[in-house]
Structure 1
Amino acid sequence: MTPSAPIPDGSVVITPTEVYAEVRATHDEVKSVSSKLDSLPIADHSHLLADHETRIRTLERARWPLPSLAAVTSVGALVLGLYEALGH
């Protein structure tokens, strides 16, 4: 197959064969990394995951009392303000 227009000087031509070779090389590298990941002893790290989960839950629990207290205080102040404004 010949190109319909001349290729300008300084252009780079990448053939389908070169693209295929690069795709195959990438496939082989991904396969290699995947097999290395599969061989990691991930089960040994389950205690780290459990510890991480516990720490996150503790932080979440500690986060809610202050906003809740602020909301209750605001509602209480609003009720007292309305009570005083109505002259009671």
Structure 2
Amino acid sequence: MIGGPVSQLDPLGPVTIGAREIYDQLLATDRKVDGIRGEVAQVAQAHGEIAKDMTDHEARIRNLERGRWPLPSLAALVSVVSVVLAVLAFMQKGT
């Protein structure tokens, strides 16, 4: 082996990592964490806006549903009236 045998106490062997390399990696990691923090803040803000939109849409749907319930009742009433008028017209023709 070049440089002699690797001791059991030094698992990296001839590789040395200095304080500068560790510091540079720490700064790079810090920048990445700051970037992720900003992205998480954007996602949280978007989630809040989506929640507001969902609440608004739910209110609109409920309002539309409340306004639609008379339509089937009105249709049934019109059909009953038309049947009554048809029966009356038929009875008047027959006499």
- Normalised TM-score (structure 2): 0.46
Q: Structure with the greater relative contact order (CA < 8 A, sep ≥ 6): 1 or 2?
A: 2
Calculate the TM-score normalised by the size of structure 1: 0.49
